[in-house]
Amino acid sequence: MSERKKVYFAGSIRGGRADADLYREMIEYIKETADVLTEHVGKKDVFELEKDVTDFDIYEQDTAWIRACDFLIAECTCPSLGVGYELAYAEHQKKSCHILYRANEVSLSAMLAGDSYFKIHPYEDRGEVFPILEKILAEEQS
């Protein structure tokens, strides 16, 4: 039996929490076959969890998790400077990066859409997310 892959899940925290429930559902789905290093991204009380943590500590922990992960999955419908930075850092670390976003609601940043390194997965509604995740997880497990 092979070792479970480690996934860095990226989603907006300070940029907006409108998709927090979706993040939680995505994380739970990913956890069925892989370990998610950033489960807190899907928690409603993330601000409470991080209230005593400095920005420096968050930076150090998140960059360590990116270095430790096997690949990154980012939900980018809600624009986030942090998620953009995480994607660039992961690319620099040569980690496989998958970006999901609702194409019917937003245009993906040209800096992401124009970078051929990223694997972009547009979708229209929640029902399309889990088959996309299934494909990503199967690809990354091989």
Which helix (H) or strand (E) element contains residue 58?
A: helix 55-68
pLDDT in tens, 77-101: 999 999 999 999 999 999 999 999 9
* pLDDT tens track for 103-118: 999 999 999 999 999 9
- DSSP H or E segment with residue 75: strand 71-75
pLDDT score recorded for residue 131: 98
In the predicted model, what is the mean pLDDT of the chain? 95
**Would you state the pLDDT for residue 98?**
98
- Low-confidence residues of the chain: pLDDT under 70: 1-2
Rounded Cα–Cα distance for residues 94 and 84 (Å) = 15
- For residue 5, what pLDDT is reported? 98
